[in-house]
Amino acid sequence: MYAGSTETRSPPITVPMLRQFKQEGRRISALTAYDASFARLADDADVDVILVGDSLGMVVHGKRSTLAVTVDDIVYHGRAVARGSRRALRIADMPYASYPDPRTAFTHAARLIAEGECAMVKLEGAGPVIESIRYLVEREVPVCAHLGLTPQSVLRLGGYKVQGRGEAAASALRDAARAAQDAGAELLVLECVPSAVAAAVRSDLEIPVIGIGAGAQCDGQILVCYDVIGISAGRRPRFVKNFLSGRDAVIDAFRQYVAEVRAGEFPAAEHEYAQ
């Protein structure tokens, strides 16, 4: 049974601490979660970051993509996660079409911070999105950028495909990452890119780079909590590992995930993409 008052063994993670972790060489562990029970287990496992992800549209709502998720959905799940989490830094995804311009982005981001009880918002893409990042940061909204495979671009991309392959694509990705940092982003999620490209992006930036299908050279890793325990439907992506296999409890799976991320043991070579 879920107990609403979680005691924490460590002080809460703050935005400045993430950059400090990178400077110290301490890898950041992150999980995507959507409710109080999984959030509590993530806290108990010493997870650093919980993302309230728009992936809930697929793994919770059963949709084919993230595109139908609304700001109200993220606010609802953000509140639920906040009830279970006291230590991890909570990040809220900005849903598809919720940041078409800087002012609209701020209106929705303010809701995710105030009503969704998160400490940071995540925006996918570069180009015009960079101006929204800058606008939010100037108004005291911490921002996480998201580059590489951006699921909200699935219609344009024609599916969920590895990004950053080839010299031109890799160079464009590195430029976009630098632009996001220059605009004030405090964190970057890099999804489904060759490990060598991710390593180059990490070396370019002072802010932490959190990988998902981006290799072991990132400053940290993130997986969906359902993937960590092997209950996601459909074909398992290359970068996913079932940490519950051979264990009896979800908390043990989460603790093993955190341990392997911090030790640099996950992801292994079989979870990476080549150039």
Amino acid at 275: Q
The active-site residue, picked from 117, 191, 260, 272, is: 191
Place of tokens 């325990």: 229
- Dist. CA 240–CA 103, nearest whole Å: 36
Helix 102-114 and helix 129-138, axial crossing angle in degrees, nearest 10? 50
* Interior/surface letters 87-116, b for 16+ CB within 10 angstroms, e for the rest: bbbbbbbbbbebbeebeebbebbbbbbebb
In the block, tokens 């002012």 appear at 103
Residue 151, preceding peptide bond in cis (omega within 30° of 0): no
User: Is 191 noted as a catalytic residue in this protein?
Assistant: yes
Both tokens assigned to 227: 């993937």
Phi-psi region of 170 (alpha: psi -120 to 50; beta: other; left: phi over 0): alpha
> Within 13 Å and on the Cβ side, how many CA atoms surround 259?
9
Reading the block at residue 144, the tokens are: 């996480």
Q: List active site positions.
A: 191
